[in-house]
Amino acid sequence: MPIALEQPPYRKRRFYKEHRVKIWKRAGSFAVNPRGILTHRVKHVVTYLDANGENRHHHVDYWCGNGCCFDVGFEKEVLTDSPPIDRMLCHFCENNAQAKDQPNAGKLAGRHIHRGVLKAHQVCCGGCK
């Protein structure tokens, strides 16, 4: 079931006026970027149009501040109502969404959703001294 999305902030809306875009009002609750590791909560989605008004690509902003672009035609693969069981939900997305009174991810998906984070590890040497 698609959820209502937030409108982009003013600075982005001003940028969008200079380009041909469609701002989505509703979309799937979760974004599963095939090149990523975590599943994210969707904050807003914008479709960029070419000069002829044809859809070029979509851009999804996540609640954690990250985002992704994907080609037209992949909406059902990227935007979903329930994240895959084998992928964790971004902990920062969930915290930020709940801080803005968005529904809990477990309620949206109808089951418990595991949350996680990515952490960088230095592997080249024993560390700087």
**What is the secondary structure of 49-63 as a DSSP string?**
E-TTS-EEEEEEEET
Question: In whole angstroms, how large is the CA radius of gyration of the chain?
Answer: 16
Side chain identity, residue 89: L
- Give residue 7's pLDDT: 72
Q: Comparing 100 with 2, which gets the higher pLDDT?
A: 100
101 — pLDDT class (breaks 50, 70, 90): very high
The tokens of 61 are what? 């902003």
Cα angle, residue 121 at apex, residues 105 and 66 outer, rounded to 5°: 40
Convert the pLDDT of each residue in 48-97 to its tens digit: 887 777 778 898 999 999 999 988 888 888 999 989 999 999 999 999 99
From residue 101, alpha-carbon distances to 6, 12, 78 in Å are: 12, 22, 24
Side chain identity, residue 46: V
Convert the pLDDT of each residue in 22-56 to its tens digit: 888 899 999 998 888 999 999 989 888 877 777 78
| Distance between CA atoms of residues 47 and 88, nearest Å | 26
Q: pTM for this one?
A: 0.82
